[in-house]
Amino acid sequence: MTQNVRSLKNAAAAAASWRELRSPPAANDITSSLVPLSRSLPKSADELKALRAVLDLEQPTELRAAAILVLLGLGLRKHEVVALDVSDVVLVGSVVCVSVRSRARKSRGESSFLPVIGRDARVLKSYIFEQHHEAAALTSPLFYNIEHGKSDRLRRIATSTVSYWLLELRLRARQHLQSRSKLKRRRTAG
Protein backbone atom coordinates (compact mmCIF):
# COMPACT_ATOMS: atom_id res chain seq x y z
CA MET A 1 0.00 0.00 0.00
CA THR A 2 2.75 2.48 0.92
CA GLN A 3 4.60 1.61 -2.27
CA ASN A 4 1.54 2.64 -4.33
CA VAL A 5 1.29 5.94 -2.45
CA ARG A 6 5.00 6.66 -3.00
CA SER A 7 4.64 6.03 -6.74
CA LEU A 8 1.75 8.49 -6.87
CA LYS A 9 3.83 11.15 -5.12
CA ASN A 10 6.70 10.67 -7.57
CA ALA A 11 4.35 10.78 -10.54
CA ALA A 12 2.80 14.03 -9.32
CA ALA A 13 6.23 15.62 -8.87
CA ALA A 14 7.33 14.54 -12.33
CA ALA A 15 4.14 15.72 -14.04
CA ALA A 16 4.17 19.01 -15.89
CA SER A 17 2.70 22.06 -14.23
CA TRP A 18 -0.84 23.04 -15.15
CA ARG A 19 0.40 26.01 -17.18
CA GLU A 20 2.55 23.77 -19.37
CA LEU A 21 -0.37 21.41 -19.89
CA ARG A 22 -2.83 24.20 -20.60
CA SER A 23 -0.62 26.11 -22.99
CA PRO A 24 2.31 24.30 -24.53
CA PRO A 25 5.45 26.36 -25.12
CA ALA A 26 5.14 26.17 -28.90
CA ALA A 27 1.73 27.87 -28.76
CA ASN A 28 2.82 30.70 -26.51
CA ASP A 29 6.31 31.48 -27.68
CA ILE A 30 6.54 35.23 -27.93
CA THR A 31 9.12 36.41 -30.36
CA SER A 32 9.61 40.08 -31.00
CA SER A 33 8.62 39.71 -34.64
CA LEU A 34 5.63 37.40 -34.17
CA VAL A 35 2.15 38.14 -32.88
CA PRO A 36 1.48 36.31 -29.60
CA LEU A 37 -1.27 33.71 -29.76
CA SER A 38 -4.01 34.50 -27.29
CA ARG A 39 -7.65 35.47 -27.02
CA SER A 40 -6.92 38.60 -25.02
CA LEU A 41 -7.50 42.12 -26.28
CA PRO A 42 -4.86 43.63 -28.56
CA LYS A 43 -2.29 45.48 -26.46
CA SER A 44 -0.69 47.84 -28.97
CA ALA A 45 -1.38 49.75 -32.16
CA ASP A 46 1.24 47.64 -33.96
CA GLU A 47 -0.62 44.46 -33.06
CA LEU A 48 -3.91 45.95 -34.31
CA LYS A 49 -2.16 46.93 -37.53
CA ALA A 50 -0.83 43.39 -37.99
CA LEU A 51 -4.30 41.93 -37.39
CA ARG A 52 -5.92 44.34 -39.85
CA ALA A 53 -3.34 43.53 -42.53
CA VAL A 54 -4.60 39.95 -42.93
CA LEU A 55 -8.24 40.90 -43.52
CA ASP A 56 -9.94 40.94 -46.90
CA LEU A 57 -12.66 43.57 -46.54
CA GLU A 58 -14.52 42.27 -49.60
CA GLN A 59 -15.67 39.25 -47.56
CA PRO A 60 -18.67 39.97 -45.26
CA THR A 61 -17.33 37.93 -42.33
CA GLU A 62 -13.96 39.64 -42.52
CA LEU A 63 -15.59 43.07 -42.74
CA ARG A 64 -17.39 42.12 -39.56
CA ALA A 65 -14.09 41.15 -37.92
CA ALA A 66 -12.59 44.47 -39.06
CA ALA A 67 -15.50 46.33 -37.44
CA ILE A 68 -14.89 44.41 -34.21
CA LEU A 69 -11.20 45.37 -34.38
CA VAL A 70 -12.15 49.04 -34.85
CA LEU A 71 -14.22 48.97 -31.67
CA LEU A 72 -11.54 47.12 -29.72
CA GLY A 73 -9.06 49.73 -30.95
CA LEU A 74 -11.25 52.41 -29.36
CA GLY A 75 -10.67 50.74 -26.00
CA LEU A 76 -13.94 48.87 -25.64
CA ARG A 77 -13.98 45.55 -23.86
CA LYS A 78 -15.40 42.39 -25.37
CA HIS A 79 -18.64 42.53 -23.39
CA GLU A 80 -19.11 46.18 -24.40
CA VAL A 81 -18.68 45.31 -28.08
CA VAL A 82 -21.23 42.52 -27.74
CA ALA A 83 -23.74 44.83 -26.00
CA LEU A 84 -23.75 47.47 -28.76
CA ASP A 85 -26.94 48.08 -30.75
CA VAL A 86 -27.20 49.51 -34.25
CA SER A 87 -28.44 52.78 -32.71
CA ASP A 88 -25.22 53.08 -30.68
CA VAL A 89 -23.27 53.91 -33.85
CA VAL A 90 -24.15 57.44 -34.94
CA LEU A 91 -23.52 58.25 -38.60
CA VAL A 92 -23.89 61.89 -39.63
CA GLY A 93 -22.26 62.64 -42.98
CA SER A 94 -18.60 61.75 -42.66
CA VAL A 95 -18.73 61.76 -38.85
CA VAL A 96 -18.94 58.44 -37.02
CA CYS A 97 -19.39 58.22 -33.24
CA VAL A 98 -19.96 55.24 -30.99
CA SER A 99 -22.18 55.74 -27.96
CA VAL A 100 -20.97 53.74 -24.98
CA ARG A 101 -22.56 53.59 -21.57
CA SER A 102 -20.19 54.78 -18.89
CA ARG A 103 -18.87 52.31 -16.34
CA ALA A 104 -17.44 54.97 -13.99
CA ARG A 105 -19.08 55.12 -10.57
CA LYS A 106 -20.17 58.75 -10.69
CA SER A 107 -21.70 58.65 -14.13
CA ARG A 108 -22.76 55.02 -14.35
CA GLY A 109 -25.18 54.42 -17.21
CA GLU A 110 -24.66 57.79 -18.91
CA SER A 111 -23.67 57.66 -22.55
CA SER A 112 -20.39 58.99 -23.79
CA PHE A 113 -19.51 59.37 -27.47
CA LEU A 114 -16.25 58.05 -28.89
CA PRO A 115 -15.32 59.55 -32.27
CA VAL A 116 -14.11 57.24 -35.01
CA ILE A 117 -11.93 58.78 -37.72
CA GLY A 118 -10.10 57.86 -40.92
CA ARG A 119 -9.92 54.30 -42.16
CA ASP A 120 -11.69 53.01 -39.06
CA ALA A 121 -14.71 55.22 -39.76
CA ARG A 122 -14.88 53.94 -43.34
CA VAL A 123 -14.74 50.33 -42.14
CA LEU A 124 -17.49 50.88 -39.58
CA LYS A 125 -19.70 52.71 -42.09
CA SER A 126 -19.30 50.04 -44.74
CA TYR A 127 -20.06 47.31 -42.17
CA ILE A 128 -23.28 49.04 -41.14
CA PHE A 129 -24.38 49.76 -44.72
CA GLU A 130 -23.66 46.22 -45.92
CA GLN A 131 -24.81 44.23 -42.89
CA HIS A 132 -27.70 46.28 -41.54
CA HIS A 133 -30.31 47.26 -44.06
CA GLU A 134 -32.63 50.21 -43.59
CA ALA A 135 -35.36 47.85 -42.46
CA ALA A 136 -33.26 46.66 -39.50
CA ALA A 137 -34.52 47.88 -36.16
CA LEU A 138 -32.31 50.36 -34.34
CA THR A 139 -32.48 48.22 -31.21
CA SER A 140 -31.16 45.15 -33.00
CA PRO A 141 -27.64 44.05 -32.04
CA LEU A 142 -24.76 45.55 -33.98
CA PHE A 143 -23.10 42.14 -34.21
CA TYR A 144 -25.77 39.49 -34.62
CA ASN A 145 -25.41 35.74 -34.34
CA ILE A 146 -24.61 33.58 -37.36
CA GLU A 147 -24.81 29.81 -36.87
CA HIS A 148 -24.34 27.25 -39.63
CA GLY A 149 -24.71 29.92 -42.30
CA LYS A 150 -28.03 31.20 -40.94
CA SER A 151 -28.15 34.65 -39.42
CA ASP A 152 -30.34 35.47 -36.46
CA ARG A 153 -30.52 39.25 -36.36
CA LEU A 154 -32.23 39.28 -32.96
CA ARG A 155 -29.53 37.34 -31.07
CA ARG A 156 -26.24 38.93 -30.09
CA ILE A 157 -22.90 37.29 -30.61
CA ALA A 158 -21.18 35.95 -27.53
CA THR A 159 -17.92 37.25 -26.10
CA SER A 160 -16.44 33.88 -27.09
CA THR A 161 -17.09 34.82 -30.73
CA VAL A 162 -14.97 37.95 -30.29
CA SER A 163 -12.30 35.79 -28.66
CA TYR A 164 -12.49 33.33 -31.56
CA TRP A 165 -11.91 36.09 -34.11
CA LEU A 166 -8.99 37.50 -32.14
CA LEU A 167 -7.29 34.10 -32.05
CA GLU A 168 -8.07 33.43 -35.72
CA LEU A 169 -6.62 36.78 -36.80
CA ARG A 170 -3.54 36.28 -34.66
CA LEU A 171 -2.94 32.89 -36.28
CA ARG A 172 -3.26 34.43 -39.73
CA ALA A 173 -1.00 37.34 -38.81
CA ARG A 174 1.61 34.97 -37.44
CA GLN A 175 1.54 32.86 -40.61
CA HIS A 176 1.74 36.00 -42.72
CA LEU A 177 4.76 37.31 -40.81
CA GLN A 178 6.48 33.92 -40.90
CA SER A 179 6.00 33.60 -44.66
CA ARG A 180 7.36 37.14 -45.15
CA SER A 181 10.43 36.37 -43.03
CA LYS A 182 11.06 33.12 -44.99
CA LEU A 183 10.80 35.05 -48.24
CA LYS A 184 13.21 37.69 -46.92
CA ARG A 185 15.72 35.00 -45.90
CA ARG A 186 15.52 33.42 -49.36
CA ARG A 187 16.21 36.76 -51.01
CA THR A 188 19.24 37.45 -48.81
CA ALA A 189 20.60 33.91 -49.25
CA GLY A 190 20.13 33.81 -53.00
Check whether 178 has a pLDDT greater than 60. Answer: yes
pLDDT tens digit sequence for 80-104: 999 999 889 888 877 899 988 766 6
CB 112 within 8 A of CB 102: yes
DSSP string of 110-169?
-EEEEEE-HHHHHHHHHHHHHHS-TTS-TTSBSSEEEETTEEEEEEEPPHHHHHHHHHHH
97 is a domain residue: yes
pTM metric for this prediction: 0.73
**Alpha carbon distance 53, 176 (integer Å):** 9
31 is a domain residue: no
138 is a domain residue: yes
Range of the domain at 103: 41-170
167: closest CA among 54, 63, 67, 57? 54
